[in-house]
Structure 1
Amino acid sequence: MKKAVRVLVWLAIGFGISELIYHYGLELLKVPTSSMSPGIEAGDYVLVNKFIPGPRYKANDPNRYGRFALSRSLNYGDIVVFNFPEADTIVPNKPGESYYLLRRRDAGIDTLLTEEYWGELEALKVTQRPRMIKRVAALPGDNIQIIRGVLNVNGAEKDFRISSGDSVIILPPGVYDPYVFPGNYRHGWNVDNLGPFYLPRKGDVLVLDPKTFPLYERILKVFEASAIEQRGNSFYLDGKPVQQYVFKMNYYWVHGDNRNRSFDSRYWGPVPENHIVGIVR
């Protein structure tokens, strides 16, 4: 009887350790798309190292989120696994598509949800959102701009081994693409001509004005859960007038190596740090 109890105890300890490793250490993940081709192909398995940038906790609450700093911070060129930032709201019967992209594509999506049996919208916490894999192209505090298809970070061209796959048609500046971040016609951005855009760093102060607010509105309202609103040319936080905002988190810009086949920051913007799961080793 005592032997059986000892076996059960050791099994429980082993299970507990394996769960800790899975949640906070290492995880094997199957890659769903070819956005990182040719280095990583769809169907490949990769090992996710969560010790970089460190196991996260309270990831679903931007006011309490943190990490166990066991290793280093993220660097340029790191391949990262993260929860998809646009999956805070999903369409149940369209699991592979962004709700926000569907809404930009079809103004009548509310009717389609009912008539096409797409299902009722669901809200997902950060840790419940589907995972993606991309390469870090820019870090918090960087100024980025895409000029005729070339990424510039802080005024310098960057090459992160991005391949075009097929022949590339470069769009000219000023041709507005509603599917490209931030989805605002006033900026007139497209996948080949985007920015300039400043990547927020924790503690940075944003001066609020009607021109910059559309660039950061989703960050403030969704990722940082701030009750901020614009009334004319004025801004209010928790019902009180404000002229500036202090960011709670760091933000990253990511691209897929397979440029023409990658759904990345060019389309949905920066990745909040609480969405980062770990790096690929």
Structure 2
Amino acid sequence: MNWKFWQRNKSAEPKKKKSKAREWTDAIIFAVVAATIIRVFFIEAYTIPSGSMEKSLLVGDFLFVSKVNYGARIPMTPVAFPFAHHTMPITGTKAFWDGVQWKYRRLPGLQDIKRNDVVVFNFPEGDTVALENQNASYYDLVRGAGWKTVNSQYTIGSRPVDKRENYIKRCIAIAGDVVSMKNGIANVNGKDEPLKDTGMMPYRIQFSSTDFNPQVLADLGINTAEIQRTEDPQAYIVNASAEIITEVKKLDFVKSAALSAASSTEVESGGIFPHDPNRPWNRDNFGPIKVPAKGWTVQIDSNTMPLYYRAIRTYEGNKVEQKGKVWYINDKEATSYTFKLNYYWMMGDNRHNSLDSRYWGFVPEDHIVGKALFIWMSFDGEGSWFSKIRWSRIFKGIH
């Protein structure tokens, strides 16, 4: 047979048409791959689950988080079920396989993390999880009940960095900064950083009588369901911003309104970072603490190790031991350590309703997911689905 003739006739044969099932399969595979690429490298949707960022972000806000601003993080656990973070929605089993782990790498970004950026990151203490009580930190459970009790009562699991729970907080201090807090006012590098209109703190309001209309406070933006009574029947504790309190003070039935921060001697239930008995700090009074920076060398002693032990051991992957008064890193006696990663100090805007760096410490750079950009939808959870929409928050930028 003539080869050219055969080729001509073969090319003239009609191509076999794909079946409907094959077309749908190809379309679904393409959509999944395209959506995964967008989600991993460009932008991802995120929901606000708690009130820790009020009043900047509200429960029911749906955000878009940019992976481009800080540089997209290359997946560290590449074998995972699409669109499931760490747990399968129906079976409750793991949605990833940690048999393959890639080193931390990040694509070039448009900017570095700046102070006051609203950042999404993986929960640093989420490496170990009590599966039956995932809302609580495993380490808090151990500090409260002891290792033996917790490990006998719960099924304990582990998660790689990129499969830990997603948190959203405001970056208060960046690598190299010195952060502290006194009487509820944060201080960074010696400069006080009081909450602006975005944040909430408890205030004690002294009324001129017990006869007042709570709706007046609600109209100013105070959640009246959260108002707390005090020993004085004419005084209440409310959660509000400084700007709201300025308006409250103008009311004729208000005698005074002042910040109600914990005293420096008040003991914090459960303790705060670094959970050191020599540092009796609380959520409104702590520090100073220097946030580790890549290339910064810290002297190792009994004063610094409570602050930096977890960063050196867990986040940077070193073997750390103490023998007597001598510290060993990777089986070598060590009097100093030079950090390999940058770290950040994250706090919620709703300062007395936020589990943040005050309780679990630094956020390593390899835990950073992205920068919160804007709210694309928001529901207040009351009424019909249409009336639930907070129209004023749609496409609102995050500052």
TM-score by length of 1: 0.90
Matching of residue 216 in structure 1 with residue 251 in structure 2:
no
Matching of residue 94 in structure 1 with residue 133 in structure 2:
yes
Structure 1 segment 226-245 matched on structure 2, within 5 A: 226-245=318-337
Offset of residue 57 of structure 1: 2.4
More relative contact order, 1 or 2 (CA 8 Å, 6+ apart): 1
Structure 1 vs Structure 2 CA RMSD: 2.4
Equivalent residues of 1:55, 1:67 under 8 A apart: yes
Partner of 2:148: 110
Partner of 1:23: 40
Q: 1:85 aligns with which of 119, 124, 128?
A: 124
- Alpha-carbon spacing, 1:120–1:10, altered in 2? closer, same or farther (3 Å): closer
Equivalent residues of 2:291, 2:362 under 8 A apart: yes
Offset of residue 17 of structure 1: 2.5
Offset of residue 172 of structure 1: 2.4
Partner of 2:191: 156
Offset of residue 63 of structure 1: 10
Offset of residue 19 of structure 1: 1.2
Structure 1 segment 1-281 matched on structure 2, within 5 A: 1=15, 4=18, 12-57=29-74, 59=76, 64-107=103-146, 110-111=148-149, 113-114=151-152, 118-161=153-196, 162-164=199-201, 166=238, 169-177=260-268, 178-281=270-373
> Over residues 184-217 of structure 1, what are the superposed CA-to-partner deviations in whole Å (9 max), with x where a residue is unaligned?
1111111111111000011111111111111101
- Alpha-carbon spacing, 1:155–1:16, altered in 2? closer, same or farther (3 Å): same
State the one-letter code of the partner of 2:302.
P
For residues 102 and 178 of structure 2, the distance between their equivalents in structure 1, rounded to whole angstroms, comes to 25
Offset of residue 147 of structure 1: 1.2
State the one-letter code of the partner of 1:183.
H
For residues 334 and 304 of structure 2, the distance between their equivalents in structure 1, rounded to whole angstroms, comes to 15
For residues 318 and 169 of structure 2, the distance between their equivalents in structure 1, rounded to whole angstroms, comes to 28
Offset of residue 2 of structure 1: 5.8
> What secondary structure sits across from 2:38 in the alignment?
helix
State the one-letter code of the partner of 1:132.
Y
Q: Provide the aligned length of Structure 1 versus Structure 2.
A: 277
State the one-letter code of the partner of 1:38.
K
For residues 195 and 59 of structure 2, the distance between their equivalents in structure 1, rounded to whole angstroms, comes to 20
> Over residues 214-272 of structure 1, what are the superposed CA-to-partner deviations in whole Å (9 max), with x where a residue is unaligned?
11011111111111222222111111112111111111111111111111111111111
For residues 150 and 330 of structure 2, the distance between their equivalents in structure 1, rounded to whole angstroms, comes to 34
> What secondary structure sits across from 1:19 in the alignment?
helix
For residues 262 and 173 of structure 2, the distance between their equivalents in structure 1, rounded to whole angstroms, comes to 22
- Alpha-carbon spacing, 1:241–1:113, altered in 2? closer, same or farther (3 Å): closer
For residues 101 and 186 of structure 2, the distance between their equivalents in structure 1, rounded to whole angstroms, comes to 29
State the one-letter code of the partner of 2:105.
G
For residues 329 and 188 of structure 2, the distance between their equivalents in structure 1, rounded to whole angstroms, comes to 31
For residues 209 and 3 of structure 1, the distance between their equivalents in structure 2, rounded to whole angstroms, comes to 73
Aligned-pair identity in percent equals 34
State the one-letter code of the partner of 2:52.
S
> What secondary structure sits across from 1:102 in the alignment?
helix
Bigger Rg, which one: 2
Give the gaps of 5 or more residues in structure 2: 1-14, 78-99, 203-237, 240-258, 374-399
Equivalent residues of 2:345, 2:357 under 8 A apart: yes
State the one-letter code of the partner of 2:308.
Y
Offset of residue 125 of structure 1: 0.8
Equivalent residues of 2:272, 2:283 under 8 A apart: yes
For residues 170 and 181 of structure 1, the distance between their equivalents in structure 2, rounded to whole angstroms, comes to 18
